[in-house]
Amino acid sequence: MKNEERVVVAGGGLAGLRAGERLRELGFRGEIVIVGAERHLPYHRPALSKEAINGELVASDLRLTISRELDAVWRLGTVATHLEPDRHVVGLPGGEELKYDGLIIATGVEPRHLAGAPRQDPRIHVLRTVDDAIAIKRAINSTQGLVVVIGGGLIGCEMAASVKSMGRDVAVVSRSSTLLGSAVGKSIADTVTEAHRARGVRLAMGVKIRHWVRQSGGVAIHLSDGQVFFAAVVVIAVGAAPSVAWLRGSGLVLEDGVLCDPTCHVVGGTDIVAAGDVARWPNLRFGGQPRRVEHWLNAVEMGRAAAENLLAGRESSRPFTPVPRFWTEQYGMRIQGSGLPAMGTDTTTLAGSQKDHRTITGFISDGRLVGMVGLDAPTAMIKLSTELWRQNKVTASPRPPQHSAPAASADPGEHRLPAGPRAPAVPRQAPEPVPSPPPLPSHAPVVRSRGHSRALARSGPKAPPR
Ligand SMILES: Cc1cc2nc3c(=O)[nH]c(=O)nc-3n(C[C@H](O)[C@H](O)[C@H](O)COP(=O)(O)OP(=O)(O)OC[C@H]3O[C@@H](n4cnc5c(N)ncnc54)[C@H](O)[C@@H]3O)c2cc1C
């Protein structure tokens, strides 16, 4: 990219912001235009189901630090409407056309709709944006009675814990038999499920919603086990779908997100890269099967890698091969995940305390440790994470399958691992700076950005620095 050229970033969230900043760090002096559907500058989304609900933080505390050098043109409250790769044009409302020399697609995901749910009812909410969180908080504070969360995944569980900490009666409805089931492995899922139950959260597990009845005092939710929850407020948290509707007809491959090659360059496009929740790419460290990763740290790291590779050009680009990390926090319990647990076909206990619930579950595929999830075991997670790097070397192309049996272990001090292939030591990476809080804008301005910083409470990552 030449300095007089323009880079357009579609999506004004975390990945888009960090990509823009990386362009400046690498000396790009051309114009950067960030098109964001939301009217807010980027903010810390993980806090939306935690501190922003339980009142520890208000919306104005959530703004992310924006580096002074970014000097971007922000088109906030503006939706990218379509893409014409052949003409290097991003369409904006009203027929406006934004020419680009380079494009970064970082439009994230949107909450998945729940079939049959009367979404038009103001008592029924989803949670993806700060405006959603403000509406949910207002609904909870202005009502009495039961708050029902539909969905037992990360966001659903965090919502239930936050609402419970506000002293409200809350219920979780889920089709699976435990909370967080597939994301963290059975043993940790059982502990989390018990933690919610022990605090009085009403759990309707392994059930389907038969029908909804909207009444003046609330919404009656009829379940397949015959239970009826009468909700004052409902939060639907049943997963998310990539925000790619604006790309239909562009020629890009849009199955479960924007398909990219290992270097974040999109398949079927030129001078276009993608990053964050919306991007599906083959991580050559984990077998090369294209996957999306909906984690905060991945949005940061992939935003930076995509910017680097856009400037480098497809031929000179480096594969993006992270070990993904995520965290969640409920009732003060901290769960950290590393690698790709979802890839595991088997699990093993890598560390477990006889005394309390602290434990680490390892996820095994083809005799290799491909992921781990720890509950209140940050030090052991850091120690064991080197093993994930060691056993998952970057391969030039997708890795052929191998077969060998895993081994198990006893206490948090003692780690025994499946005998994976030998690999060199792992490079350390600086942890991501904690976001900070100038006030949120009140209307959809076109602004040039200048940033300042201050520490944020708890929902920053304490995942293992590498
Ligand atoms: C409630 C909640 C809690 C979470 N908690 C955690 C956690 O504890 N740990 C963790 O690791 N991760 C967590 N995450 C996930 C993490 O926040 C995401 O992985 C990260 O924000 C993804 O960043 P992104 O930039 O890819 O997408 P986003 O942050 O979603 O940004 C994409 C932006 O693009 C905009 N956009 C979409 N379509 C268009 C369009 N056509 N034109 C213009 N703009 C568009 C969207 O409005 C959005 O502002 C949480 C997410 C949520 C919602």
pLDDT recorded at residue 460: 42
What is the number of the ligand 1 atom nearest to the C-alpha of 133? Answer: 1
Nearest to 117 by CA among 218, 211, 240, 232: 211
Q: With a 6 A CB cut-off, is 276 part of the ligand 1 pocket? A: yes
Residue 1: predicted pLDDT: 65
Condensed to tens digits (0 to 9), the pLDDT of residues 397-426 reads 655 444 444 444 443 433 333 343 333 333
Going by pLDDT thresholds of 50, 70 and 90, the confidence category of residue 183 is confident
pLDDT at 150: 98
Check pLDDT > 80 for residue 454.
no
Q: In whole angstroms, give the CA distance from residue 389 to residue 322.
A: 9
Q: Would the pLDDT of 11 be above 50? A: yes
Q: Is the pLDDT of residue 442 over 60?
A: no
Atom of ligand 1 nearest to the CA of 40: 49
Instruction: Label residue 90 by pLDDT band (50, 70, 90).
Output: very high
The atom number, within ligand 1, closest to the CA of 78 reads 43
* pLDDT for res 356: 74
DSSP 337-399: EEE-GGG-SEEEEEEE-SSSS-EEEEEEETTEEEEEEEES-HHHHHHHHHHHHHHS---SSPP
Closest ligand 1 atom, CA of 275? 26
The mean pLDDT value for 301-314 works out to 97
Question: Which atom of ligand 1 has the smallest separation from the CA of 14?
Answer: 25
Examine the pLDDT at 456 and tell me if it is beyond 50.
Answer: no
* CATH 3.50.50.60 domain span(s) along the chain: 6-38+77-110+241-316, 113-238
- Dist. CA 260 → ligand 1 center (Å): 19
Residue from 45, 320, 265 nearest 155 by CA: 45
Under DSSP, the state recorded for 221 is E
Report, as an integer, the average pLDDT of 215-237.
Answer: 97
Report the CATH superfamily, name and number, of domain 113-238. Answer: FAD/NAD(P)-binding domain (3.50.50.60)
Q: Is the CB of 38 under 6 A from ligand 1?
A: yes
Residue 35 CB less than 6 A away from ligand 1: yes
- CA-based end-to-end distance of the chain: 30
97 Cα: distance to centroid of ligand 1 (angstroms): 25
CB of 45 sitting under 6 A from ligand 1:
yes
Pocket test of ligand 1: the residue of 34, 158, 293, 296 to mutate, having most ligand atoms within 8 Å of its CB, is 296
pLDDT surpasses 90 at 449: no
Q: Give CA–CA dist 417/304, Å, rounded.
A: 33
Of residues 187 and 73, which shows the higher confidence score?
A: 73
Lookup: tokens for 229: 């929850």
State the distance from the centre of ligand 1 to the C-alpha of 166, rounded, in angstroms: 25
Range(s) within the chain of domains with CATH label 3.30.390.30: 325-391
Whole-number pLDDT of residue 372: 97
Q: What is the Å distance from ligand 1's center to 278 Cα?
A: 9
Our answer on whether the CB atom of 12 is closer than 6 Å to any ligand 1 atom is yes
10 lines ligand 1 (CB under 6 A): yes
Question: Per residue in 238-273, pLDDT tens?
Answer: 999 999 999 999 999 999 999 999 999 999 999 999
Q: Where residue 182 falls among pLDDT bands split at 50, 70, 90?
A: confident
Q: What is the pTM of this model?
A: 0.87
Instruction: Say which amino acid occupies 284.
Output: L
Cα of 292 from ligand 1 centre, angstroms: 13
Q: Where does 325-391 sit in CATH, by number?
A: 3.30.390.30
Ligand 1 pocket residue status of 11, Cβ below 6 Å: yes
Q: Among all chains, which residue has been given the structure tokens 């804008």?
A: 441
**Does ligand 1 come within 6 angstroms of the Cβ of 295?**
yes
Binding site membership of 277 for ligand 1 (Cβ less than 6 Å): yes
- Residue 429 vs residue 227, higher pLDDT: 227
For residues 64-76, average pLDDT: 96
pLDDT at 427: 39
- In which order are the strands placed within the sheet that holds 89-91? 82-84, 89-91, 97-99
Distance CA 169, CA 141 (A): 13
Q: What percent of the chain has pLDDT over 70?
A: 83
Res. 445: pLDDT tops 50: no
Mean pLDDT of the chain: 87
Which fold would CATH assign to domain 6-38+77-110+241-316?
FAD/NAD(P)-binding domain (3.50.50)
Q: What is the pLDDT of residues 324-383, one digit of tens each?
A: 999 999 999 999 999 999 999 999 999 886 667 889 999 999 999 999 999 999 999 999
pLDDT at 326: 94
